[in-house]
Chains A and B, each alone.
Chain A
């Protein structure tokens, strides 16, 4: 009889309840979209920040300078990279060594960075490249040249760049022109081994840059583990990037959290207004039910079950619509779809049931109706 009554209550008041269910569906839709966004925001934001480039640097320790004089202290390439590999952390997206020297292109001094060119696309995904990252012919020495250097030296893709350093020369083929929007536009990037040969520093690097996936906390933890594996070097996160990421994440979460609370409150108010009208309509029914021997608990349970069903239905439909909304928002904000998080469904439904029950206060108060007062028409 309980379910029969519940069904009849829902059918009997369907006109009024449409308003409540519309409020619940709308609220659930926005909340599930925001929650889905919130759950996925860390991954999305991390991806976005990885576009900014390296977020971890390994450099020689302060006490590691050779004879305390320039050139700046160097690191052992194999030692540094063996330590990175020993951690076997899948969060490491890219890791590249760098050895900087100032060579001459004719009479013009240029900063040349020896590195692993094949790591650059992953390490610096925001750089725009014209041409290729890596050479198509293995028998040439490739180089990638910054936009400003190309302009200054009147170079073009396929040009040969003759570089000299301390009496040694090398001839590199320009395979790519990089537009990084920073100091890199004034540099030339070549294979590390060639720069080490020119500098006479085989196996030596000036620093290593890593791109590590994860939150600011994850990156700091990885840095600490790497620092423990490389006690003679300095391992430090690039704070501007990691802190900005953490800050932004916190602000977005606060914003989303505030909006969720606000929408829950507004939905509850809308349900409350509908239920207040419904409660007025049902005073007569409740008076009768009590006259027939219905206990307050039994009558109120019936109404709360009705509201709970409304909340669950509104939450379910709203959650489905919200997932689509979050996908659309993901496309608009991040350019890629937000991943579907299945836990959003039970969470949204639970929130909507709670909101519906909170908004059903007028129905709960119906338990106080006095049958004699109702029958007197007061």
Chain B
């Protein structure tokens, strides 16, 4: 398998606070990685940097052979549109757009919209009959499935999911986890932040964080420093 993500001695500081203190690891294409750890351990910061939403203070975060830290604003915009699919704990759907339009929004910023394809993406996550609903009219699980459809619509290289089941009840959590299973079977590379050990155990590997550092990481996952 080819390496899709390579993180080398990655540091991120917010003023005097060190969120990531020299983290290194790699992810092969098609892997499902669970990133675990307590609140404030640097998980979301790592996801933000890998997704081009934040810049590292030092070190490298290479995704699909692109060093994210070296990209300028327009480069980051292109990177996010073409390489990354985000799934957030809070869903982050635009409230005045329908489920269909929320998916098409990602298409619009990527290249051009294709309503048929967007409908198919929603059908795939079981929302074929909810395409014209506004987020406010959808349950939490349905909203998260819209977010999954939106994340997949541009065929990203890497899916970054930050606590995707954190706001869901058990039934909806199960539905969303099933979707992740399907994505994984299809060969998508997934980095998922989660607090839940039960969900973490579903991943191929777990990366644990504490105080901005990796802990309990098998040696085979570490890059040579």
A pairs with B: yes
Which chain B positions have C-beta within 8 A of A292?
Answer: 80-81, 86, 105-106, 109-110, 150
Q: Does B54 have its Cβ within 8 Å of any Cβ on chain A?
A: yes
Given contacts A289-B94, A295-B77, A371-B53, 5 further A-B contacts (CB under 8 A): A5-B108, A284-B92, A293-B106, A294-B81, A372-B54
Contact across chains for B48 and A8 when beta carbons are under 8 A apart? no
B73 CB to closest chain A CB (Å) equals 7
Contact across chains for B48 and A372 when beta carbons are under 8 A apart? yes
Q: Does A9 have its Cβ within 8 Å of any Cβ on chain B?
A: yes
Interchain Cβ contacts under 8 Å between A and B, 11 examples: A2-B108, A5-B108, A289-B94, A289-B105, A292-B81, A292-B86, A292-B105, A293-B80, A293-B81, A375-B44, A375-B88
CA distance A12 to B96 in the complex (A): 5
Given contacts A291-B51, A291-B86, A293-B110, contact A5 B95 (CB under 8 A): no
Checking B74, B84, B95, B96 against A295 with a beta-carbon cut-off of 8 angstroms, the contacting residue is B74
Main secondary structure of the interface of B (DSSP, over half): helix
Closest to B105 in A: A292
Contact with A along B69-104 (1 / 0, CB 8 A): 000011001111110101010101011110001001
B150 CB to closest chain A CB (Å) equals 8
B136 CB to closest chain A CB (Å) equals 11
Q: Does A296 have its Cβ within 8 Å of any Cβ on chain B?
A: yes
Q: Does A290 have its Cβ within 8 Å of any Cβ on chain B?
A: yes
Checking B90, B95, B108 against A1 with a beta-carbon cut-off of 8 angstroms, the contacting residue is B108
Closest to A368 in B: B73
With an 8 Å Cβ cutoff, the count of chain A residues facing the other chain is 27
Q: Does A4 have its Cβ within 8 Å of any Cβ on chain B?
A: yes
Q: Does A337 have its Cβ within 8 Å of any Cβ on chain B?
A: no
Q: Does B113 have its Cβ within 8 Å of any Cβ on chain A?
A: yes
Contact across chains for A288 and B53 when beta carbons are under 8 A apart? no
Contact across chains for B95 and A290 when beta carbons are under 8 A apart? no
Contact across chains for A1 and B77 when beta carbons are under 8 A apart? no
Which chain A positions have C-beta within 8 A of B109?
Answer: 289, 292-295, 298
Checking B44, B105, B154 against A5 with a beta-carbon cut-off of 8 angstroms, the contacting residue is B105
CA distance A2 to B107 in the complex (A): 12
Contact across chains for B80 and A291 when beta carbons are under 8 A apart? yes
B137 CB to closest chain A CB (Å) equals 14
CA distance A287 to B90 in the complex (A): 13
Contact with A along B9-42 (1 / 0, CB 8 A): 0000000000000000000000000000000000
